A and B are shown apart, each in its own frame.
Chain A
């Protein structure tokens, strides 16, 4: 049981590049979500999913896409990276929004 895993741990992109942040969980959780964390800003919800095939926007969805083709995986795609997207990205999962959320170790993204 690996919990929530995220890859890569670190990434440097140039402005305009695209990439996908991977998130996987092996706890059979229906609810998964992506957050970004900037210094002094706490965690802000980007996108979330209540089950396979169902996604919705959070507080700061612009510039990001998600999909949920399986229960286990919830990738986050940056379409055209911008310096404002430099942040630490966390993926989380739980059985439901009101159950304990388990967070991955994070991906530290720098956009030059």
Chain B
């Protein structure tokens, strides 16, 4: 499939290590945040979300941390696997933005075998 995000920042990790992908969001009024995973040639796929009244949420092998003070969001992937190689996007939403979900520019995760 067509490659997207040719100039994205890249995080390279060893298989089995933990990965941390960071995202700085822009709107202090944003109250809902989502992480998406996009594999080459496919549409984005939901990973995990978090609302602004929380600072941490855990899923299967993934954890999202929210620091509203510095407007920072992170995605932690435990025991990274080759299948985790993809581009990861954070997205933010606020009632002020009139139903618009705004995406960040993304980070490419490469998992070395």
Task: Spell out A's residues near B (CB within 8 Å).
Answer: 4, 31, 33, 35, 37-45, 48, 50, 56, 58-59, 88, 90, 92, 97-98, 100-106, 108
Which of B1-56 touch A at CB < 8 Å? 2-8, 32, 34, 41-46, 49
Task: Spell out B's residues near A (CB within 8 Å).
Answer: 2-8, 32, 34, 41-46, 49, 89, 91, 93, 98-106
B43 touches A45 (CB 8 A): no
How far, in whole Å, are A74 and B74 apart by their CA atoms in the complex?
A: 33
- With a 10 A CB-CB cut-off, give which of A42, A104, A108 has the most chain B CB atoms: A42
- Given A39-B4, A39-B5, A42-B89, verify A101-B46 contact (CB < 8 Å): yes
Q: Which residues of A contact B2 (CB under 8 A)?
A: 88, 108
- 13 extra A-B contacts, CB within 8 A, seeds A4-B43, A92-B43, A102-B46: A33-B101, A43-B89, A43-B103, A45-B102, A45-B103, A50-B99, A59-B102, A92-B44, A97-B100, A97-B101, A100-B49, A103-B43, A103-B45
How far, in whole Å, are A103 and B6 apart by their CA atoms in the complex?
A: 21
Contact of B98 among A56, A98, A101, A103 (CB under 8 A): A56
Contact of A105 among B3, B43, B99, B104 (CB under 8 A): B43
- Given A98-B32, A101-B46, verify A39-B103 contact (CB < 8 Å): no
How far, in whole Å, are A44 and B2 apart by their CA atoms in the complex?
A: 18
B43 touches A44 (CB 8 A): no
Chain B proximity of A8: nearest CB distance (Å): 14
B103 touches A58 (CB 8 A): no
24 A-B residue pairings within 8 Å (CB atoms): A4-B43, A31-B99, A35-B103, A37-B4, A39-B3, A39-B6, A41-B105, A42-B104, A43-B44, A43-B91, A45-B103, A50-B99, A56-B99, A58-B100, A59-B102, A92-B44, A97-B93, A101-B44, A101-B46, A102-B46, A103-B43, A104-B43, A105-B43, A108-B2
Contact of B101 among A4, A45, A88, A102 (CB under 8 A): A45
B4 touches A103 (CB 8 A): no
